């Protein structure tokens, strides 16, 4: 991969990272606002606002590092390690974790008997913001993997 292609792919990855970060930080019920609400009452009733906010800020921080010349394999790997849990966490939340039934104050939904792939697609069909988020995360993950591999070959 030539230097111009890497530079363009870095810009695409940065834009996708900001989209994913924005979705997670500004999510209407699981973003930073929800974390502030939970903090104001003194308990964390759902783990997602904390995880969404931390992950969103980590992506923004990664973009800032990349823009300041710190791009490289470590940054790409860190990005992968932030985005992969968003992507896999969504699937686990709606299947293995039964919508957070492990967490106090969250009731089980009982979808564990259904085909996990069908459950995930059913949720994505209804939750348009989640669908946009997962598509952006998948694209970002692909960009970061390609950048990691391209940096490894140089």
pLDDT at 111 over 60: no
Q: Is the pLDDT of residue 92 over 70?
A: yes
The total domain count for the chain is: 1
| pLDDT, mean of residues 69-98 | 90
Containing structural domain, residue 50:
3-153
pLDDT over 60 at 116, yes or no: yes
For residue 108, the model assigns a pLDDT of 66
Beta carbons of 100 and 50 less than 8 angstroms apart: no
Q: How would you class 102 by CB atoms within 10 Å of its CB: exposed for 0-12, middle for 13-18, buried for 19 or more?
A: exposed
Contact 3, 153 (CB under 8 A): no
What is the total residue count of the chain?
154
């Amino acid at each position: 991969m030539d230097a111009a292609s890497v530079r363009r792919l870095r810009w695409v990855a940065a834009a996708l990272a900001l989209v994913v970060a924005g979705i997670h930080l500004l999510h209407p019920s699981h973003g930073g606002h929800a974390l502030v609400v939970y903090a104001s009452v003194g308990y964390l009733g759902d783990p997602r606002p904390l995880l969404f906010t931390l992950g969103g800020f980590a992506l923004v921080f990664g973009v800032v590092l990349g823009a300041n010349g710190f791009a490289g394999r470590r940054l790409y790997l860190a990005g992968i390690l932030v985005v992969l849990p968003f992507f896999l966490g969504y699937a686990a939340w709606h299947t293995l974790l039964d919508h957070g039934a492990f967490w106090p104050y969250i009731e089980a939904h009982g979808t564990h008997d259904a085909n996990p792939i069908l459950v995930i697609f059913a949720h994505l069909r209804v939750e348009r913001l989640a669908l946009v988020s997962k598509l952006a995360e998948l694209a970002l993950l692909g960009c970061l993997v390609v950048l990691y591999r391209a940096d490894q070959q140089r």
